[in-house]
Structure 1
């Protein structure tokens, strides 16, 4: 971890925290986290890509970790995160195209960034999410009322649920819950946090020290912005583009035990290859025992997939 440095960059009126590893002269790779993650969730990948000859850049999104929260978190949106990503690269004086590696809702930022700033993107790697423009996901479904996304979309419900515990306990419960292979759904008179019993163990690949680090990083901002983006504003930046196409090479890594695969219609869309209509240069790799947290669960395997992709396509990053 001593290879990773930290700085704050003034971006769009906010001080955003950025972790870095590798030489400034190397091809850039920007890592975009999901929830309940933070820059720290990319620690294994940052060191791997830096040792492979790339420059790793991992920001905390606005309102997450050590980055400032926006003045009005309830108005935060995906377009803000896309703008911040572009501004971070500009502030670091990066003139070459960058690779974008993203997890969970960070993938929505990555795809929006590629649509709105194609001149800045050399390639995309996402974990557990693939490109889904409006109309692509045609299976019309309604989430159960007790599904965690449905509950967290309601102002006040999640705040009251989370407020019964300290920040570290909330992060711990969410990590354990999201490691499951079934969709997290609470009963009518049950709260989402109650789905994880106090005695439930951490996954084998996560330590108490890791959870303590996450808890500390979430203490500054809590979950106010995190509940807004992604759960209460799901409008993807770039969705207004007609006939959207992402031309750069794209790799999607999916865990076959990820609960996301159980969302109605999702697995059919993933395995059908329909995404190639929008992303012609697309490849999907499946990890048989992979959960929602592939990059932490199987870091060596994910590192190999990412560095292999970067090395195959690093010529695209040259200006």
Structure 2
């Protein structure tokens, strides 16, 4: 980790925290989800740098060590699309591979839709192509205690999280979301109440990892994370008839709870997703969970580098 360099780059009027390693001619930009941060890509960054690529991971605006926008409550997923394109401009990169995890998959794909000339290929983990908008997540088909529904309710997650220190919130979410069940609270529960304090950290997630995540979220808090993605997920991004024409790879952990979202598994397995992403390869990891890149880094690194090498010519 000591070889990863850290800096701040001004993008769209905000200073973004950038982690970087490697000097290859082709850049790979890693986009985190929640409760992740740039550090979630530690294994992948080192591996792709050793394979000859320039690895870049950011804290999205409002996350970790990046600056907060003036009015976070007005932000949407589309702000992150402009942010990724602006990051490439600020770093002098004409084209890059984009790798997205969890909600980071959404701007990765949308950049490829809006700025296809800037993207060599897209790799996403767990989340297929999705357009933000009213139909993005079918909350009404899940119990009312569904975690996204709860977190979309203004003030509710804030009150839930505030009962714990930041480190506990990150630990609870990481541990809960490593399971294959969709996190759903009963009427008399909050999402944090689903965590059993006797549950150990996942074997692939160390106390040191937890401390690193906690320090970054202690800096930024959770305000922006609750707005983007959760509370802005239903905002229409204004894109009609989208198509991702660049090569793409979707890595799916078959024990990822997201597969149990209404219609999600059918959308992926039936090949319907390929109507929107025609050049898509899908690889299933039988033991993979929601954090497959941290859980099975060697396997995921191999798949990523194989894709990068195939499409770098």
Question: What is the TM-score normalised by the length of structure 2?
Answer: 0.96
Q: Is the counterpart of residue 3 in structure 1 residue 3 in structure 2?
A: yes
Aligned length: 312
Residue aligning to 1:251: 249
The structure-2 alpha-carbon separation of the partners of 1:228 and 1:275, relative to structure 1 and needing over 3 Å to count, comes to same
Question: Displacement of 1:206 after TM fit?
Answer: 0.6
1:76 to partner: Cα distance: 1.4
Which residue does 1:18 correspond to in 2?
A: 18
Partner of 1:34: 33
Return the offset for 1:153.
0.3
Q: TM-score, normalised by structure 1?
A: 0.94
Render the CA deviation track for 1:216-241: whole Å, top value 9, x for unaligned.
0101111000000010001478x533
What SS class does the counterpart of residue 300 from structure 1 fall into? helix
Decide whether aligned partners of structure 1 residues 285 and 74 sit closer, same or farther in structure 2, where only a CA change above 3 A counts: same
| CA drift at 1:141 | 4.8
| Correspondence for 2:183 | 184
SS of the equivalent of 1:85 reads: helix
| Contact persistence 2:135–2:234 (CA under 8 A) | no
- In the TM superposition, what whole-angstrom CA distance separates every residue of 1:283-315 from its partner, at most 9, and x where no partner exists? 100000100001100000000000000000012
Mapped contact 1:108–1:236 kept (Cα < 8 A): no
Is 2:305 aligned against 1:307?
Answer: yes
Does the 8 Å contact 2:139/2:146 carry over to 1? no
Aligned twin of 1:58: 57
Contact 2:16 2:67 in 1 (8 A): yes
Give the 3 Å change call, closer, same or farther, for CA 270–137 of structure 1 in structure 2.
farther
Alpha carbon RMSD of aligned pairs, Å? 1.7
Segment drifting more, 159-168 vs 138-147: 138-147
Aligned to 2:217, the other structure's residue is in SS state helix
Deviates more, 1:284-293 or 1:137-146: 137-146
CA–CA distance in structure 1, aligned partners of residues 54 and 69 of structure 2 = 28
Q: 2:34 touches 2:225 (CA, 8 Å); kept in 1?
A: yes
Contact 2:139–2:149 at 8 Å: present in 1 too? no
For residue 143 of structure 1, report the CA deviation from its aligned partner: 2.5
Asked if 1 retains the 8 angstrom alpha-carbon contact of 2:136 and 2:234, the reply is no
Q: Following TM superposition, by how much is the alpha carbon of 1:273 offset from its aligned partner in structure 2, in angstroms?
A: 0.4
Q: Cα distance, 1:139 vs. partner? A: 7.8
Q: Residue 167 of structure 1 corresponds to which residue in structure 2?
A: 166
Give the secondary-structure state (helix, strand or coil) at the position aligned to 1:186.
coil
Query: Could you tell me how far 1:142 is from its partner in structure 2?
Result: 2.5
Is the Cα contact below 8 Å between 1:109 and 1:236 reproduced in 2?
Answer: no
Q: Which runs of 5+ in 1 are unaligned?
A: none
Larger CA deviation: 132-141 vs 149-158: 132-141
Please give the residue correspondences for 1:112-127 in structure 2 after superposition, counting only pairs within 5 Å.
112-127=110-125
The equivalent of 2:201 in structure 1 is: 202
Q: Distance in 2 between matches of 1:26 and 1:2?
A: 22
Q: 1:75 to 1:135 in 2, by over 3 A?
A: closer
Q: Distance in 2 between matches of 1:261 and 1:129?
A: 9
Conservation of the 8 A alpha-carbon contact between 1:137 and 1:269: no
Q: Give how far 1:243 is off.
A: 2.0
> 1:160 & 1:236 partners in 2: Cα distance?
24
Q: 5+ unaligned residues in a row in structure 2: which ranges? A: none
